[in-house]
Amino acid sequence: MTRAIDVDCYAALSARRLVPRDFIWFVVRDRVTGNPVTDGYWSDVGTFAAAVIDPDSGAPVTRTFNAGGGLISISDIPLVSNLTVQNVTVTLSQVSERINDLLRTYDCKQGRVQIFRGLFDPGTRAMVGPAFPRFAGTIDEAPITTPKENDAGDVVLTCTGNTQELTRANSDTRSDASQKLRDEADDFYLHTATVSDWQQYWGKSAGTLGVTGGSFSPIDAARAAGLFS
- Tell me, what's the pLDDT at 129? 86
Helices (H) and strands (E) in the chain, counts: 4, 11
Q: What is the pLDDT along the chain (229 residues), one digit of tens a residue?
A: 556 677 777 777 777 778 889 999 999 999 999 899 999 999 888 889 999 999 888 889 999 998 866 788 889 887 777 788 888 999 888 777 888 888 888 998 889 999 999 988 888 888 888 998 999 999 988 887 777 777 777 888 999 888 887 777 777 777 888 888 888 888 888 887 787 777 776 666 666 655 444 455 666 666 655 566 5
Q: Pairing between strand 36-42 and 19-29?
A: antiparallel
What are the residue boundaries of the structural domains of the chain, listed by start?
A: 7-167, 176-224
Q: In 3D, which of 17, 9, 25 has the Cα closest to residue 118?
A: 9
- Tell me, what's the pLDDT at 202? 66
SS3 36: strand
Q: What are the CA-CA distances from residue 213 to residues 66, 132, 145, 179, 216 (Å)?
A: 60, 51, 55, 19, 9
What is this structure's pTM? 0.69
- Answer for the pair 132, 5: CB distance below 8 angstroms, yes or no: yes
